[in-house]
Amino acid sequence: MIKEIDYYYSYSDNIFKYESIYDAKGNKTVYAEYSWDNETQNWVSVYKVESAYNADGNPTVQVGYDWYETQFSFKYEYAYDADGNQTMYTIYDWNSNKNDWEVSQIVIYEIQTVNTGINNVQVATAKVYPNPTSGMLYVETANGTVPALTLYSLQGKQFLQTTGNEVDLSAYPRGIYLLQVDGEVVKVMRK
């Protein structure tokens, strides 16, 4: 097991700590984000992802948690087949009355193999920052293209559809949103 800690990324008077834990094969099994609470003088959990892998190094399950103002507010779970293809995506909301998670959305993926004759296809991943934000969110794609952007609530309600490298979240309520960047979904937080 290898543990990697990056400390103190600071903006808007917030201080963060990022922790990653890797298994013997180099797979990231835990990723956690913490913010410093000046009142309690302690690190407070903000986000955590736990991942499991099969013997081939392919992911089998990934569970992520988001805390908002010390309350569980969001949980997601990805399930994968033996080849590492995503087969299911489940979103949960925390029900404080029941003190338990409730499923709010389930997406099941049908995997179809199509021979395109193209080898070495690279998947572009987007960089979205700053996240969380109280206003502007900037988007960079790996290949430098101007992406199509769609903003959704956690319940799947579409708020915005545009093309560009930035999204202004200042008019939206505080909370967690899903930003689709050229088909790739990124969780973003409006603080």
Measured distance CA(187)–CA(16) in Å, rounded: 18
Measured distance CA(80)–CA(111) in Å, rounded: 10
Measured distance CA(68)–CA(13) in Å, rounded: 17
Q: What are the pLDDT tens digits along the chain (191 aa)? A: 677 666 665 555 677 888 899 988 888 999 998 888 888 888 888 889 999 999 888 899 999 888 765 555 788 888 888 888 887 888 888 788 888 888 777 766 655 454 444 343 334 467 888 878 888 989 888 778 888 898 888 777 889 999 999 999 999 888 888 888 887 777 888 87
Measured distance CA(22)–CA(134) in Å, rounded: 32
Per domain, the residue ranges of the chain are 2-108, 126-190
Task: Write the CATH number of the domain with boundaries 2-108.
Answer: 2.40.128
pTM: 0.53
Residues 126-190: name the CATH superfamily: Immunoglobulins (2.60.40.10)
